[in-house]
Amino acid sequence: MLCFYLILLLREISGGRMLSFSGLPGRGEVRENSLAGASVYTFNVILSPSNASVEGLPIIINSNPLTKAFRINPGSSLLQYNVATTGDPILDYETMPHTFDLQILVTDNAGARAMQIMTVVVLDENEPPAFQGNLATQTVMIYILEDRPAGTVYQFHAVDSGNSTSTGLSYLGTPGEPFSVSSTGTISSSKVFDYEKDPTSYSLNITVTNGQGLSTSRTVIINIINLNDESPYFTITERVFRIKEEQKTGTIVATMTAVDPDGEVFTNILRYSITAPQGIPYFSINPDSGVIQVARRLDRDTGPLNQHPNISLEIHVEDSPNGGRRNSTTIVITVEDINDHPPECQRYTFREQFYETMSIGTVIVDLENVCWDRDAVAPNNQFNFTGLSGVGSYKFAQDPPGSGRITLVGNVDLENKTGGAEEKDYILNLVVQDIVSPFYPSNIYIFVRILPVNEFEPVFSSPSYVFNASETLAVGSKIGTVTATDEDIPSTGISYSIVAGGGTQDYSEIFWIDPEKGTVQIVAPLDYEITKWYLLTVQASDNDRKTQTVQVTVNVLEANDKKPVCSSSSHLLEIPVDLTPGTNINSLYISCVDRDSSPRAFRFFINSGNVNNHFTFSPSAGSGVSRLILVSPFDYKRGLDRVWEYRLEVFITDDNLLSVENRSTVLVQTGTVTLTIRVIPNPTTVVPTTPGVTLLTSRENVYVVSAWYVPFIICLGILLLLGLLGYLTFLLARYIRTHCQPKPKEDKKPLIKTPVEKKKVKKAEIWELTNVNTVFDGEARDPVTGHLYEFNSKSGARRWKNTNVPPESETKDPVAQVTTTRRNSGQRYLSRKEAETNIRKQGREDNVPSAPPEQKIEISDQDNSRKLQVPKEESLRNGSAVPPHRSPIPSPKIYPKYQSQA
């Protein structure tokens, strides 16, 4: 029954389908050390129904013990699978378990599953012996020193893989000599090695074999270490070297080579050095390569090398920097002279001056015995002179050739242009150079200046000059240029000056001439109406005081440069508001003149200020006199006119005779007249009022606006003087009071007071109390009770704000007592006690405490019926009629109810 239910359960799990293995569970065997992919076991999968398919490959879901050494591969037929090795890790019978249980799971496409167990058994195989230590995995390299005694070189170990012991193993080393291998794995040498004679390396093949005939081989390389037991020696045979002087620092002179018999290793570490003191400053040796180089400048011509050009060097070689073996040799280096200096002279530049009248054959300069060559030996120190070259060199020559003696052979007269003597300066280039390569030259420059002789006077380009200048030209303008030349070559320089003419009554000098360029300029304004032409005398002079003069006429051209000038530039007019149109205002005539224009050229017009065009001029053009006419009446009643003072800017131009097109191109002058017209309203005239503010400013033209600082400084000075005067007065009064005591008055009071019966008039003061309705304009909270109260910011009076406060009788506003002092001769005065009694009585009637926090004393004046109220804090104590001043802080006595709490 249990099996039946189990079958039903399996059918339910598999969805009604059956999935099983063929060949599982099973047992497979595999040998150790099998390669990856070795087949272990083959099984099949059975599907029901047959149309189902396996979902992927069967998988190993678990193993005991755990391993990744196996996997499942597809077999040769459908639904056949093979368990194979993965090679990770490789199976080893000696180090791994001998059996593995694999759980294999397969799933079809319908979701059915099946699982079985397969056992894998690892079989042991006979393996060759194995080396241990470094020799087990790699080739071993052994190093031994030469001259080492024969004996043990290396010890290795090997074991049999079957029993993990070294019993029954045999060893063989090939080739044998000069090494041998013992039965215990010891490698020994049979001789003493010499690195320079014997091989430096031996390769020994070690083979170990077990009792079954299986063997393993490894290689041992034995290297012989070289020892420093031989001295190096030089291989170079040449001992004398030559080098030219002036070689660059670092130039190679020779290379010292040496060899160490101990081998290349010691040859590569050879160290070279120089010990000769004579050669150390000039030469150095590379300690590694043995290259001898120039260490400083080699000058054969100066210093010790001039007398001793041969330098001996002692070269040492050493195979170890610290106590090694060494050897030495001596070489000689000869420094040879080269032609490295050009010829030198005392001077290379000669400057000579001669007059243009000097004769042919004159010696210019003699260069004999002024040059030399600093090279050490001939022919490097020999030189000669070459031919002349340069500007004008054909007029000079060496006599004899190559001697350096320069003479004149041509014409140098500056005025003789036919002979080509127009040159003033000659530059001669003479080269002195060596006679051997590289023929160093030294240039000698000879500057010959021919001094001119002043033989001719200046000559103007024209016998006279005429210049035209408009009277509108600005000061500094150029009006013309005069030119003079001098036949002397080169020109000695000409300066110009005005020696006569060019002055008027107002200006002594109107013209100025540039002394170098001859340009005539005006330095004062020209006026055609005053002077129409000027006659100048211009003088040209050279540097040798030779002069020449010429007449210059300057014609002044008329131009419209004057403005119309009127009889008065400003007028102040007053007219009634009801002036009849067409009336000549105040009979005003404007009369203008122009020095360079006819009155018919005048044109009058109002440029600005003519609001509503009430004014015009008649005639407006063609005359020098014009009248101001009112052309339209004023209308202030309807608001058409609002300006009561007109400032008219009147322009008078002299362009009336010009067409409209020419006025923009011709210079037109304009005169200006300012008219101020005040309209006087009639007494019955009603000035219309409009909302807004009307500012009426009365001005008098007594100073210009730009002079604002004048009254400011005057006022400031007055204030400073007044302050100083007051301060001095104060100091004087204090001094008089301190140092000048007043004269004591005579005491006329009798010693014994005699009673005089005289009726004294009793004076009294009247005190009036007035209740004032105090205005409370502030609000605050009482710090004792926490209630809000209102207070008067001036008097300090207070009262509670809400109804939850003490009775009003206890917080009633303090009465401001007003004291009025009256002084009438015919009125009865109250006594002081009566006044105090009335005050107390009035206070009781108004439920006011006897000491109010603040009172106002009102002083009344019967004559002008004005009152002055002064707020004060006062308390009437001990019946005092005059309360003292107190702080404006309200007193707690305002609240009688809380007086005990405070």
DSSP reduced 3-state for 374? coil
Residue 835: predicted pLDDT: 45
Q: How far apart are CA 663 and CA 551, in angstroms?
A: 39
Q: Which of 117, 125, 111 is nearest to 53 (CA)?
A: 111
Query: What are residue 390's DSSP bridge partners?
Result: 428
Q: How far apart are CA 377 and CA 302, in angstroms?
A: 12
DSSP reduced 3-state for 564? coil
Residue 586: predicted pLDDT: 87
User: For residue 521, with 0-12 CB atoms within 10 Å meaning exposed, 13-18 middle and 19 or more buried, which class applies?
Assistant: middle
Quick one: average pLDDT of 551-568?
Answer: 84
Identify the sign of the CA torsion 182, 188, 190, 196. Answer: positive
Q: How far apart are CA 30 and CA 40, in angstroms?
A: 6
pLDDT digits (tens, 9 = 90+) for 398-417: 888 888 899 999 888 877 76
Helix (H) / strand (E) element for 282: namely none
Could you tell me the CA-to-CA distances from 16 to 45, 50, 78, 236 in Å, in that order?
17, 13, 23, 104
Q: How far apart are CA 644 and CA 697, in angstroms?
A: 12
Residue 161: predicted pLDDT: 67
264 phi, psi to nearest 5 deg: -65, -30
pLDDT digits (tens, 9 = 90+) for 489-503: 777 788 999 998 877
Q: How many CA atoms lie within 13 A of 214 on its CB side?
A: 12
Tally of helices (H runs) and strands (E runs) in the chain: 4, 58
Residue 140: predicted pLDDT: 87
Q: How far apart are CA 626 and CA 616, in angstroms?
A: 10
DSSP reduced 3-state for 482? coil
Q: Which of 422, 546, 426 is nearest to 490 (CA)?
A: 422
pLDDT digits (tens, 9 = 90+) for 191-243: 888 877 888 888 888 888 877 777 888 888 988 887 777 788 888 888 899 99
Per-residue tokens: 13: 């799990």
Per-residue tokens: 387: 């031919």
Choose the most confident range, by mean pLDDT, from 14-23, 85-94, 457-466. Answer: 457-466
Q: Which of 408, 437, 432 is nearest to 348 (CA)?
A: 432
**pTM of the predicted protein model:** 0.33
323 DSSP assignment: T
Residue 42: predicted pLDDT: 92
Residue 86, pLDDT above cutoff 80? yes
Q: How far apart are CA 604 and CA 583, in angstroms?
A: 18
The count of residues in the chain is: 902
More confident residue, 576 or 598: 576
Contact 275, 305 (CB under 8 A): no
pLDDT digits (tens, 9 = 90+) for 26-67: 999 988 888 888 888 999 988 876 667 888 889 898 888 888
Residue 326: predicted pLDDT: 85
Could you tell me the CA-to-CA distances from 439 to 295, 365, 373, 741 in Å, in that order?
28, 24, 12, 119
pLDDT digits (tens, 9 = 90+) for 295-341: 988 888 888 888 888 888 999 998 876 767 888 999 999 998 888 88
Q: How far apart are CA 856 and CA 817, in angstroms?
A: 6
Contact 467, 473 (CB under 8 A): no
DSSP reduced 3-state for 69? coil
Quick one: average pLDDT of 86-107?
Answer: 86
Query: What are residue 30's DSSP bridge partners?
Result: 122
Contact 801, 852 (CB under 8 A): no
Contact 129, 75 (CB under 8 A): no
More confident residue, 853 or 507: 507
DSSP reduced 3-state for 331? strand
Residue 173, pLDDT above cutoff 50? yes
Residue 779, pLDDT above cutoff 50? yes
pLDDT digits (tens, 9 = 90+) for 672-721: 889 999 999 875 444 444 444 445 555 555 556 677 888 889 999 999 99
DSSP reduced 3-state for 739? helix
Contact 602, 619 (CB under 8 A): no
More confident residue, 863 or 333: 333
Which three-class secondary structure string do you get for 627-696? Answer: EEEECCCCCCCCCCCCCCEEEEEEEEECCCCCCCCHHHCCCCCEEEEEEEEEEECCCCCCCCCCCCCCCC
Residue 512: predicted pLDDT: 92
- What is the identity of the amino acid at 884? P
Residue 856, pLDDT above cutoff 80? no
Q: How far apart are CA 862 and CA 866, in angstroms?
A: 8
Q: Which letter, b or e, does each residue of 331-363 get, where b requires 16 or more Cβ atoms within 10 Å of its Cβ?
A: bebebebbbbbbbebeeeebeeeeebeeeeeee
Identify the sign of the CA torsion 121, 126, 132, 137. Answer: negative
Contact 796, 890 (CB under 8 A): yes
- pLDDT band (50, 70, 90) for residue 821: very low
- What is the percent of the chain where pLDDT is above 70? 77
Contact 829, 821 (CB under 8 A): no
What residues have CB less than 8 Å from 705, skipping those under 6 apart? none
Whether the upstream peptide bond of residue 89 has omega within 30° of 0, thus cis, is yes
Contact 445, 465 (CB under 8 A): no
Residue 74, pLDDT above cutoff 70? yes
Computed over every residue of the chain, the mean pLDDT equals: 78
- pLDDT band (50, 70, 90) for residue 540: very high
Per-residue tokens: 99: 């059996």
Q: Which letter, b or e, does each residue of 668-687 get, where b requires 16 or more Cβ atoms within 10 Å of its Cβ?
A: bbebebebbbebeeeeeeee
More confident residue, 743 or 577: 577
Residue 356, pLDDT above cutoff 90? no
More confident residue, 655 or 86: 86
User: For residue 604, with 0-12 CB atoms within 10 Å meaning exposed, 13-18 middle and 19 or more buried, which class applies?
Assistant: buried
What residues have CB less than 8 Å from 277, skipping those under 6 apart? none
Q: What share of the chain is helix, strand, coil (3-state, %, to 5)?
A: 10, 35, 55
Q: How far apart are CA 633 and CA 867, in angstroms?
A: 57
Choose the most confident range, by mean pLDDT, from 476-480, 621-625, 754-758, 885-889. Answer: 476-480
DSSP reduced 3-state for 2? helix
Q: How far apart are CA 617 and CA 623, in angstroms?
A: 11
Query: What are residue 673's DSSP bridge partners?
Result: 650
Sheet-wide strand order for 201-209: 140-145, 215-225, 201-209, 170-174
DSSP reduced 3-state for 77? coil
Could you tell me the CA-to-CA distances from 638 to 379, 444, 687, 690 in Å, in that order?
126, 107, 10, 12
Helix (H) / strand (E) element for 503: namely none
Residue 784: predicted pLDDT: 78
Helix (H) / strand (E) element for 6: namely helix 2-13
Per-residue tokens: 755: 């009673």
